[in-house]
Structure 1
Amino acid sequence: GDGDGDGADADAAAKMKRTADDAFKRGDMRAACDLYTACLASASASSSSGGSSVAAVKVAALANRAAARLKLEDYAGAEKDASDVLEMDGAHVKAHHRRAAARVKLGRVHDALVDYAVVRKAFPRHKGVLAEIEEA
């Protein structure tokens, strides 16, 4: 810690998130999911003392676990994680994007298009997003 009393748990959660990020970068999505889950449990345990730093770790871990779950074709899990991110940070564009992708796979195209509209507003010229919207 940096001495402001935000607790060792917040540091542990941040460390776990970095380990999970490494697994994600290696392409080991199963390990990444498990590590993000452990990170979230650790962050939840410390949320009373950690304040905004813990909240930031939780948002990032959920957003990244949503991405990992998409790659594992766990679309319901990805949608839930992305929705949880958006409850904490409604302006999280990547979470809207991941939830849209999950919802397309779940056959909920109308809901997906609502999310894609948010993404498109943030990135009006993003070719990949426009292509996904066309496919939906």
Structure 2
Amino acid sequence: MKQLALAALASCTLALVACSTTDAVSLPFDLASTTGDGATSTSSSSEGDGGSTQARMKQERYVATQIDWIRRDAARGEGESLAALAELLNENDSAEFSRWTQQNYALLFANLEQPTDLLQRIHSLRN
């Protein structure tokens, strides 16, 4: 009975580790591949604020859920989370944007209280 319980516990633990590893690794890649309509929404916002509001909401949602990945990739100056963020922000050159985030890492991430404040900092520094 004790061996059966240990085997069940080991099986559950292994399943949780496998799921969390897969999710943690694939999530930025999944989001990167689904951000195209965010960029389209921003560029097609000629009919009022609807497109840009929708794009901003996607940007905020992405940053809020991916801040740890974004912070890590910004420290390295490259990565899928930054490529996805660059696409959401309609940056023309994601490699240049990634290098820029590394160069401005302290300004972007120091005392960052809310993940979405990162978007305001990027906008302020890039414009």
**TM (normalized to structure 1)?**
0.37
Larger radius of gyration: 2
Q: Identify the structure with bigger relative contact order (alpha carbons < 8 Å, sequence gap 6+).
A: 2
